[in-house]
Amino acid sequence: MSPTPPSSVRRVACIGAGVIGGGWVAHFLARGYDVTAWDPAPDAEDKLRRLVTAAWPALEQLGLAEGASADRLTLAPSLAEAVADADAEFVQESAPEQLELKRDLLAQLDAAAPPGVVIASSTSGYPMTDMQTTAATPGRLVVGHPFNPPYLIPLVEVVGGERTDRAAVEWAAEFYGVAGKSVITMDRELPGFIANRLQEALWREALHMVANGEATVEDIDASITEGPGLRWAFMGPILTFALAGGEGGMAHMLDHFGPSLKSPWTRLEAPELDRALRDAMVDGCERAADGRTYAQLVAERDQGVIDVLRATGRLDGPAR
């Protein structure tokens, strides 16, 4: 699909430089790529460079690729100039989650990028089928859905739309792997993809419990960080459940606990997000933050993920 093999890519264009786009920029810089970024906001460059500077200590702990440097970042004056350069070998779009905006932007990128270059969208939920409708060559458009922050969380979910060439999906999946990501290549489109659908189920149940006064924000967070979250970090929910069946594995677990699936434990319909529920969630998070600033919380989160990665053998080096 792309004239450049995934392992030979040297320059990436990142379109949109907010939290997700900026996180992609930091990740690609840390992996030794030249990065050209564009964002229409007047203060985009200052914010992006601050984000990269803030992320760099965590990236140094993760391990920088040979030649990695924040100095390899260039800000382009226009969308077309960001991707039209013949050296641009991959494009990552990270615009706000508005379907018409995504649709128009991907069509512009398709018109401006060199022929054959794969263009990926960071959308967190829109199917590529819905976003590629106005592009002249939709075959090269794929979803490359990351997790925040993209420079730290390994997962990226890759899937094409109805008009996407399979070769583009395969190329993108291989490229993300070369670029240091953990890749799930989906065989079919699914609104919200995989991880977001699972997160959404937990999120909705949490909102119900807060709305009904059944649990506090602090209770819910502790129930994960002090419970299943410690197992999910390295084993995932399905294999964790299989171990609940002992030597009989998943089969015994289902035979033993299967009837409980009929119990009305969860309420997957979204509750009404009224002022009372909103205030309860906001107030609970403020209590949980306990005076820590956003920057302090981000630093603690980043260090925590790094420590978990080390503790589970997925990152070399001593813990701090």
Distance separating alpha carbons of residues 224 and 247, to the nearest angstrom = 25
* CA torsion angle 221 223 225 231 (round to 10): -140
Q: pLDDT tens string for the chain (320 positions)?
A: 557 899 999 999 999 999 999 999 999 999 999 999 999 999 999 999 999 999 999 999 999 999 999 999 999 999 999 998 656 799 999 999 999 999 999 999 999 999 999 999 999 989 999 999 999 999 999 999 999 999 999 999 999 999 999 999 999 999 999 999 999 999 999 999 999 999 999 999 999 999 999 999 999 999 998 888 888 887 788 877 777 777 777 777 667 776 666 666 777 766 786 788 777 867 776 887 788 887 887 788 888 888 888 887 777 655 44
Sheet holding 34-38, edge to edge: 73-75, 34-38, 11-15, 90-93, 119-121, 141-146, 155-160, 182-185
Beta carbons within 10 angstroms of residue 164's beta carbon: 23
CATH fold label, 195-289: N-(1-d-carboxylethyl)-l-norvaline Dehydrogenase; domain 2 (1.10.1040)
Beta carbons within 10 angstroms of residue 74's beta carbon: 15
Return the closest-CA partner of residue 70 out of 24, 35, 18. 35
Q: How far is CA 320 from CA 12, 30, 215, 297, 308, in A?
A: 32, 21, 34, 17, 12
Beta carbons within 10 angstroms of residue 290's beta carbon: 7
* 120: DSSP letter: E
Decide if 133 contacts 107 (C-beta within 8 A): no
Domain ranges within the chain, ordered by starting residue: 6-185, 195-289
Q: What is the architecture, at CATH level 2, of domain 6-185? A: 3-Layer(aba) Sandwich (3.40)
Decide if 106 contacts 135 (C-beta within 8 A): yes
- Furthest-apart CA pair in the chain: how many Å? 62
pTM of the model: 0.87
Distance separating alpha carbons of residues 248 and 299, to the nearest angstrom = 42
Return the closest-CA partner of residue 109 out of 145, 77, 80. 80
Cross-strand bridge partners of residue 141 = 119
